[in-house]
Amino acid sequence: MPRSHERSFEDDLPTRVCLDTCFIIETLVEDSTHHTQCKRFAERLAQNGVQVIYSAISQVEFWNVLRKLFDKGALNTQFPQQTLPDRTMQLQHLYNLSSRLWSRFFRQFSRHAAPVDGTVLALARPKLWEHRLKPHDAIILATALRWEFEDLVSMDMDFRSVDYVHLWNDHIFG
């Protein structure tokens, strides 16, 4: 993507943005690499009334990533391993905590959880090869396109190949 399409978190804000799952994860998981800058940017979006959209698939991906981190013991600060009698109860506790965290985060925005419908899937399919995106990323891009959002917030460098959206990534890729 040409640098002119990338945006810094300090640039003038758009009125609406599509949030990629990796940005949401970086914002919500305290030990993540870009947590501080993503959290600050999310707060700035909320304080300025920027409307957000995210794919409904993002919450499932959030749960998936949290479970992997939890299993590695990488979430002990934020999600301490409880001394619960079995694995099922541990996972139930993790998912309940993560759902509350997710809800609390999105309450601060005017937001829309966009469904993964036939239109989104039809838009996503060619993005898999046009931009060599992973299926999840193609769905995120298709969600932005379906709802006519020109600004995408993502820490995923794969979106750099998409020159028809403004990629908000704080230039973390150098």
pLDDT at residue 61, as a whole number:
93
Q: Record the tokens describing residue 12, joined without a space.
A: 């003038």
pLDDT at residue 173, as a whole number:
60
pLDDT at residue 97, as a whole number:
86
115-174: pLDDT as tens digits: 999 999 999 999 999 999 999 999 999 999 999 999 999 999 899 989 999 999 987 764
Residue 36 maps to which CATH number? 3.40.50
pLDDT at residue 21, as a whole number:
94
Q: How many CB atoms lie within 10 A of CB 83?
A: 6
Question: Would you say residue 24 lies in a domain?
Answer: yes
Question: Would you say residue 22 lies in a domain?
Answer: yes
Question: Would you say residue 141 lies in a domain?
Answer: no
Question: Would you say residue 142 lies in a domain?
Answer: no
Give this prediction's pTM: 0.89
Higher pLDDT, 41 or 32: 41
Domain count for the chain, please give it: 1
Three-state SS letters, the chain: CCHHHEECCCCCCCCEEEECHHHHHHHHCCCCCCHHHHHHHHHHHHHCCCEEEEECHHHHHHHHHHHHHHHHCCCCCCCCCCCCCCHHHHHHHHHHHHHHHHHHHHHCCCEEEECCCHHHHHHHHHHHHHCCCCHHHHHHHHHHHHCCCCEEECCCHHHHHCCCCEEECCCCCC
**Full residue range of the structural domain in which residue 72 is found:** 3-115+149-168
CB-based contact 63:95 (threshold 8 Å): yes
Question: Would you say residue 63 lies in a domain?
Answer: yes
pLDDT at residue 54, as a whole number:
96
Question: Would you say residue 154 lies in a domain?
Answer: yes
pLDDT at residue 72, as a whole number:
83
pLDDT at residue 50, as a whole number:
97
Question: Would you say residue 135 lies in a domain?
Answer: no
CB-based contact 66:29 (threshold 8 Å): yes
Task: Evaluate if residue 2 carries a pLDDT over 60.
Answer: no
Question: Would you say residue 125 lies in a domain?
Answer: no
* Helical packing angle, 57-72 and 21-28, nearest 10°: 50
pLDDT at residue 174, as a whole number:
46
35-75: pLDDT as tens digits: 999 999 999 999 999 999 999 999 999 999 888 888 887 77
87-117: pLDDT as tens digits: 888 888 888 888 999 999 999 999 999 999 9
pLDDT at residue 31, as a whole number:
84
Task: Evaluate if residue 1 carries a pLDDT over 50.
Answer: no
